[in-house]
C-alpha cells in the first residue's frame, strides 16, 4: 500500500473533495486489492482441485475397465466349465 506521504492528495487536484472522502477511497482501493489477492488464491486452489478431479476420474475409468474385463473373464470361465463339463459327461 502506498503511504499517504508518498501519494498525491486528491484534494490538491480537486478542491471539492474532502479528506474523509479521499481516505475512504484509498481504504476501498486497499480492500479491493486484498480481495483481489484472495480471489487469485482461491482460483489457484480451484485449479488444483480440478487437476485432482481429473486424476480421480482417470483412475475410476481404469478401475471400471478392469472390472469389465474381470466380468468378461468370469463369464468366459463359466462358459468353458460348462463346455468342459459336458464333454466329460459325454466321454465318461
Q: Encode pLDDT of 47-56 as tens digits.
A: 998 888 888 8
Q: How far is it, in rounded angstroms, from Cα 49 to Cα 37?
A: 19
Asked whether residue 22 is assigned to any structural domain, the reply reads no
What confidence tens digit (pLDDT) does each residue in 24-50 have? Answer: 888 889 999 999 999 999 999 999 988
Q: What is the DSSP letter of 14?
A: -
Identify the pLDDT of residue 38. Answer: 92
Residues spanned by the domain of 80: 57-92
Global pTM reads 0.40
Q: How many domains does the chain have?
A: 1
What integer best gives the mean pLDDT of the chain? 80
| Residue 79 domain flag | yes
Amino acid at each position: 500500500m502506498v503511504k499517504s506521504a508518498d501519494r498525491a492528495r486528491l484534494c490538491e487536484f480537486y478542491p471539492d473533495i474532502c479528506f474523509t472522502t479521499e481516505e475512504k477511497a484509498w481504504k476501498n482501493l486497499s480492500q479491493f486489492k486484498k480481495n483481489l489477492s484472495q480471489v487469485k488464491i482461491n482460483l489457484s486452489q480451484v485449479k488444483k482441485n480440478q487437476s485432482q478431479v481429473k486424476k480421480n476420474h482417470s483412475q475410476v475409468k481404469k478401475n471400471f475397465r478392469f472390472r469389465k474385463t474381470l466380468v468378461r473373464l468370469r463369464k468366459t470361465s463359466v462358459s468353458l466349465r460348462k463346455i468342459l463339463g459336458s464333454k466329460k459327461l459325454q466321454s465318461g
